[in-house]
């Protein structure tokens, strides 16, 4: 069923049908009504591929999201969507799985839908100039920035936190409370991404306190699944390795870790202090509330859209914005008592 079928049924030309469908003014009321009627009757649905193909440009802004169920993203996505709509544009959301290349996916999306620009959410940290050249629309990396690739700053925009510095700050929180044996829970030490950066911050904080990072205190889960963090934490607790605090690079991991601690008969924060980075909803409802450095999800989304629109509307070029986290104090951290430290 195409626009031609409608046209024939109505004994008008396809252009008339097209005009009706697109709310163009210059159609007689009679024809308009006739077309509408048949459209409803026949349940005509337009083919958007054909529309996209012929439309010179859309008002669409693409949002390429890596990882379907990431709870941190949902807040950011909402913020991005709202900001885009308020500015009078349309958001086109495209999810990709972890294995896919977001640059490629974004490039295809932008071309197929004739988008004005792209926001990449949760991408990877090592683009090359080669890869970026695929994109012929402005784009901004949201929640991350290019730390490991050889890409000059003028070639892209980003809105992110300073992962290393924030991890440093989180671990200092523990150090300042007297903790010295601090375990870390992360996805992978060398993922050339968030895990790696936050791990570097962890190491830096320790070294500053004269502590040599100890590999037996590093829990690599290999994924961001809560079950993996739970198992990893359980293993570390059973290993007999002494520690009094845990730094998790993500809230979700921290929540699972707290549960592992609880199930092993210990308490947070009495036996173990826990801090993390992210500030997702869930961790505010953990018992005790997780103490975490909350990323400004709302602002992250807004700023990303603003930068992109500035470029689209010719107000400016590539920019890099670094946002700070906000300490959300929960009940998962407490000072290491003298007694506790003596028994270590």
Which DSSP helix (H) or strand (E) runs through 287?
Answer: none
Name the residue nearer to DNA (CB basis): 18 or 231: 18
Q: Which of 31, 95, 231, 318 binds its own copies (CB under 8 A)?
A: 95
Name the residue nearer to its own copies (CB basis): 129 or 316: 129
> In whole angstroms, what is the distance from residue 30 CA to residue 171 CA?
72
Cβ atoms of 122 and 80 closer than 8 Å: no
- Distance from the first to the final alpha carbon of the chain: 76
Contacted by 21, from its own copies, DNA, none: CB < 5 to 8 Å by type: DNA
Q: Does 287 bind its own copies (CB under 8 A)?
A: yes
Q: Which of 37, 69, 150, 322 binds its own copies (CB under 8 A)?
A: 69
* Residues of the shown chain interacting with DNA in the complex, contacts defined by CB under 7 A: 2-4, 11-16, 18-19, 21-22, 25-28, 30-31, 46-47, 50-51, 53-56
Q: What are the tokens at 80? A: 């991005």
Residue whose structure tokens are 């520690």: 243
> In whole angstroms, what is the distance from residue 136 CA to residue 107 CA?
8
Residue whose structure tokens are 């859209």: 305
DSSP state of 60: E
Residues with Cβ within 8 Å of residue 129, at least 6 apart in sequence: 150, 151, 152, 155
Residues with Cβ within 8 Å of residue 292, at least 6 apart in sequence: 170, 251, 254, 275, 276, 277, 278, 279, 283, 327, 328, 330
Q: How many residues bind its own copies (CB under 8 A)?
A: 46
Please choose, out of 66-74, 147-155, 160-168, 303-311, the segment that lies near its own copies by the rule CB under 8 A: 66-74
Q: Checking DSSP bridges between strand 139-142 and strand 117-121, what pairing results, if any?
A: parallel
Q: Does 286 bind its own copies (CB under 8 A)?
A: yes
Contacted by 18, from DNA, its own copies, none: CB < 5 to 8 Å by type: DNA
CB of 9 to DNA, least distance (A): 12
Q: Does 223 bind its own copies (CB under 8 A)?
A: no
CB of 226 to its own copies, least distance (A): 5
Name the residue nearer to its own copies (CB basis): 85 or 176: 85
Write out the residues near its own copies by the rule CB under 8 A: 1, 43, 45-50, 52-53, 68-69, 71, 73-74, 77-78, 81, 93, 95, 97, 104, 107-108, 111-113, 133-134, 136, 225-227, 230, 255-256, 258-259, 262, 281-282, 284-287, 289
């Amino acid at each position: 069923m195409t626009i031609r079928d409608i046209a024939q049924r109505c004994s008008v030309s396809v252009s008339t049908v097209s005009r009706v469908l697109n709310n163009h003014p210059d159609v007689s009321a009679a024809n308009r009504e006739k077309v509408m009627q048949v459209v409803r009757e026949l349940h005509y649905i337009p083919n958007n591929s054909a529309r996209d193909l012929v439309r010179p440009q859309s008002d669409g802004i693409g949002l390429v999201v890596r990882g379907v169920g990431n709870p941190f993203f949902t807040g950011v996505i909402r913020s991005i969507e709202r900001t885009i709509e308020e500015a009078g544009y349309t958001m086109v959301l495209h999810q990709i799985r972890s294995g896919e290349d977001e640059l490629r996916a974004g490039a295809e999306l932008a071309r197929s839908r004739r988008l004005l620009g792209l926001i990449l959410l949760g991408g990877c940290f090592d683009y090359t100039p080669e890869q970026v050249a695929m994109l012929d629309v402005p784009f901004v990396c949201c929640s991350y920035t290019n730390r490991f690739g050889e890409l000059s700053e003028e070639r892209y925009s980003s809105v992110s936190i300073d992962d290393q510095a924030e991890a440093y700050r989180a671990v200092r929180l523990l150090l300042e409370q007297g903790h010295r044996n601090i375990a870390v829970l992360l996805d992978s030490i060398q993922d050339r991404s968030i895990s790696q950066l936050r791990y570097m911050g962890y190491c830096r904080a320790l070294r500053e306190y004269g502590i040599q990072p100890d590999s037996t205190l590093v829990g690599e889960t290999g994924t961001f699944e809560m079950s993996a963090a739970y198992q990893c934490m359980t293993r570390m607790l059973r290993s007999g390795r002494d520690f009094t605090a845990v730094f998790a690079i993500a809230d979700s991991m921290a929540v699972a870790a707290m549960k592992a601690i609880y199930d092993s008969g210990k308490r947070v924060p009495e036996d173990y202090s826990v801090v993390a980075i992210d500030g997702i909803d869930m961790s505010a409802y953990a018992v005790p509330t997780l103490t975490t450095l909350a990323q400004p999800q709302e602002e992250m989304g807004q700023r990303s859209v603003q930068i992109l629109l500035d470029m689209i509307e010719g107000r400016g070029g590539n920019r890099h914005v670094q946002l700070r986290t906000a300490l959300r104090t929960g009940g998962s951290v407490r000072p290491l008592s003298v007694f506790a430290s003596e028994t270590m």
